[in-house]
């Protein structure tokens, strides 16, 4: 008989009762080091007092009023995001997929409103992940995710990630814009280099296209900058973000320039829950921490510690590991460990070492801790990974021998 909770996930047989910082506790008091952060979402770790207090306080006042009225918490959060980024205006929603849907709608609407209603096509990249709604499945383009769900939504093309020639060849008279993750998360922590990001901006300017960045995972401080595209020194037209922005509370956002945002006139787009007082109280509390002097630099420094420790693991175990992946800046706290064996084995072994990590495609282990992690915790996580790797060697001496040749 089917479980009453729909079995859409392969869940580990573990349930956490509470968390504290980068640690999660089961009811039998087993303590796990959380280097997955609920898939790069628990940006301030668990039970962060300032975030907890902000949510509790707002919940005790008013949680939801709808967008029929002004929401001061949303106005404040938007103003702060605008002040801290390229954007002139922000739309709040509830998830990454919803932010990406809105981003594509904005790109199309801006083209239509400026005399190009025929420009509806969005150029995406192989290996993309943009979410699970019907249109974002098409933008993602992964055959496995599309299977059984009917005709893919039209208007999304794919070119190889990082290939400028292919990109320029894909641009046509019906192209509205380009949609890219500056660092692809789900497909294995593939980072677009700074040069490619700048070339994308130049191509958009040359052909009158809009540059839309999916920073749902790599944004909100993950790389040691508020947004990953800042490393390239470029200014996009639209950016979607979600995951880390609410510190675990569901919140998404679309940031846009005035030239794009002004076409989303009243009635053209909306959401019931998006930008409610509770979610925005969480968002403001997260920003209090992220924008505090030195915080992002600290993320960058912790990323360097973690990166170096992972590199040492790769050097010690060239038979098992191929390299460390992340942004060319050193990656911040969005790193990948490329394995020479099925990465699910390493994830399972890490669980035995009471370390939580997340698999990605291409046999890459994603190492994406809360941004409040300290150096000692980074080193502890890599020690646990090394012990997890030992388990794999012991369990599969043949694989080890073959890989070592
Ligand atoms: C997680 C993710 C999404 C989808 O976000 P949801 O909140 O699950 O809808 C979209 N894009 C990227 C890059 C992501 O990592």
Asked if 50-290 and 294-339+353-405 have one fold, the answer is no
Unique residue bearing structure tokens 């064996």 = 341
> Three-state DSSP class for 347?
helix
Q: Is the C-alpha dihedral spanning 349, 26, 23, 6 positive or negative?
A: positive
CA distance 337 to 363: 8
Q: Is 233 exposed, middle or buried (0-12, 13-18, 19+ CB in 10 A)?
A: exposed
Tell me the CA distances in angstroms from 28 to 11, 31, 64, 117, 353, one per residue in order: 19, 9, 36, 59, 16
**Nearest residue CA, atom 5 of ligand 1?**
96
- Rounded to whole angstroms, what are the CA distances from 90 to 115, 238, 280, 286, 402? 24, 10, 12, 16, 53
Residues with C-beta less than 6 Å from any ligand 1 atom: 95-97, 100, 129-131, 181, 185-186, 214, 216-217, 242-243
- Name the residue at shortest CA distance from atom 6 of ligand 1: 96
From 215, 242, 252, mutation site for ligand 1 pocket: most ligand atoms within 8 A of C-beta: 242
State the DSSP H helix or E strand holding residue 18, giving kind and residue range, or none if neither: strand 16-20
Q: Are 353 and 320 in contact (CB under 8 A)?
A: no
Q: Which of 129, 191, 253 to mutate to test the pocket of ligand 1 (most atoms within 8 A of CB)?
A: 129
pLDDT 10s digit of each residue in the chain, 405 long? Answer: 999 999 999 999 999 999 999 999 999 999 999 999 999 999 999 999 999 999 999 999 999 999 999 999 999 999 999 999 999 999 999 999 999 999 999 999 999 999 999 999 999 999 999 999 999 999 999 999 999 999 999 999 999 999 999 999 999 999 999 999 999 999 999 999 999 999 999 999 999 999 999 999 999 999 999 999 999 999 999 999 999 999 999 999 999 999 999 999 999 999 999 999 999 999 999 999 999 999 999 999 999 999 999 999 999 999 999 999 999 888 899 999 999 999 999 999 999 999 999 999 999 999 999 999 999 999 999 999 999 999 997 666 555 555 554
CA-angle at 33, arms to 27 and 38, nearest 5°: 85
Secondary structure of 40-83 as H, E, C letters: HCCCCCECCHHHHHHHHHHHCCCCCCCCCCCCHHHHHHHHHHHH
Q: What pTM was estimated for this model as a whole?
A: 0.97
Beta strands in 197-288 (DSSP E): 210-214, 238-241, 252-256
Instruction: Compute the distance between CA of residue 274 and CA of residue 264 in angstroms, rounded to an integer.
Output: 15
Q: Which of 56, 338, 312 is nearest to 190 (CA)?
A: 338
pLDDT for position 157: 98
Interaxial angle between packed helices 72-83 and 277-290, expressed in degrees from 0 to 180 and rounded to the nearest 10 = 30
CATH no. for 294-339+353-405: 3.90.1150.10
User: Looking at ligand 1, which atom is closest to the CA of residue 252?
Assistant: 7
- Tabulate helix, strand, coil % of the chain (nearest 5): 40, 20, 40
Taking phi over 0 as left and psi of -120 to 50 as alpha, with beta for the rest, 323 belongs to left
What is the model's pLDDT at position 399? 54
| Rounded Cα distance, 132 and 104, in Å | 14
Q: Please answer whether residues 325 and 335 qualify as being in contact, where contact means their C-beta atoms are separated by less than 8 angstroms.
A: yes
Output the furthest CA–CA distance in the chain (Å, rounded). 67
Strands (E), 215-331: 238-241, 252-256, 321-325
> Ligand 1 centroid to 395 CA: how many Å?
35
Closest CA to 159 of 143, 144, 171, 146: 171
CA-to-CA separations, 335 to 23, 64, 194, 213, 401, in angstroms, rounded: 19, 37, 17, 19, 27
**Spans of all domains in the chain:** 50-290, 294-339+353-405
The residue whose CA is least distant from atom 11 of ligand 1 is 130
Contact criterion met (CB below 8 Å) for 328 and 305:
no
For the domain made up of 50-290, the CATH class stated in words is alpha beta
Residue 335 and residue 367 in contact, taking contact as beta carbons nearer than 8 Å: yes
- Spatial distance between the Cα atoms of 189 and 238, rounded to a whole number of angstroms: 22
Q: Vertex 209, ends 139 and 153: CA angle to 5°?
A: 25
Query: If you count DSSP H runs as helices and E runs as strands, how many of each does the chain have, helices first?
Result: 14, 17
- Index of the ligand 1 atom closest to the CA of residue 132: 9
User: What is the per-residue pLDDT for 329?
Assistant: 85
């Amino acid at each position: 008989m089917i479980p009453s909770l729909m079995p859409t996930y392969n869940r580990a047989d573990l349930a956490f009762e509470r968390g504290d910082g980068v640690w999660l506790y089961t009811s039998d008091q087993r303590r796990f080091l959380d280097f997955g952060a609920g898939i790069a979402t628990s940006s301030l770790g668990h039970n962060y007092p300032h975030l907890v207090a902000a949510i509790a306080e707002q919940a005790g006042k008013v949680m939801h009023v709808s967008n029929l009225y002004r929401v001061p918490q949303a106005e404040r959060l938007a103003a702060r995001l605008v002040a801290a980024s390229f954007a002139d205006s922000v739309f709040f929603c509830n998830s990454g997929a919803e932010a990406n849907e809105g981003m594509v709608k904005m790109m199309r609407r801006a083209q239509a409103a400026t005399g190009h209603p025929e420009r509806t096509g969005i150029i995406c990249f192989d290996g993309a992940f943009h979410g699970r709604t019907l249109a974002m499945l098409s933008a993602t383009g992964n055959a496995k995710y599309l299977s059984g769900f009917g005709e893919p939504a039209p208007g999304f093309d794919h070119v190889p990630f990082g290939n400028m020639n292919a990109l320029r060849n894909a641009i046509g008279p019906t192209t509205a814009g380009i949609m890219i993750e500056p660092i692809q998360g789900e497909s294995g922590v593939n980072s677009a280099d700074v040069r490619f990001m700048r070339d994308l901006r130049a191509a958009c300017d040359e052909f009158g296209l809009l540059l839309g960045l999916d920073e749902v995972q790599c944004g909100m401080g993950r790389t040691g900058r508020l947004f990953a595209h800042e490393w390239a020194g470029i200014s996009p037209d639209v950016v979607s973000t979600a995951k880390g922005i609410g510190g675990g509370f569901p919140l998404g956002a679309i940031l846009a320039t005035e030239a794009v945002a002004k076409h989303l006139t009243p009635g053209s787009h909306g959401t019931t829950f998006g930008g409610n007082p509770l979610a925005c109280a969480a968002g403001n509390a997260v920003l209090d921490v992220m924008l505090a002097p030195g915080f992002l630099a600290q993320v960058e420094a912790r990323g360097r510690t973690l990166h170096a420790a992972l590199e040492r693991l790769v050097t010690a175990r060239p038979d098992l590991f191929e390299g460390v992946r992340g942004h060319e800046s050193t990656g911040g706290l969005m790193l990948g460990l490329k394995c020479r064996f099925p990465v699910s084995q390493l994830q399972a072994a890490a669980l035995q070492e009471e370390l939580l990590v997340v698999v990605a495609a291409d046999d890459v282990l994603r190492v994406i801790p809360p941004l409040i992690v300290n150096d000692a915790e980074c080193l502890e996580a890599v020690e646990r990974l090394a012990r997890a790797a030992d388990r794999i060697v012991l369990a599969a001496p043949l694989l080890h021998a073959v890989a070592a040749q």
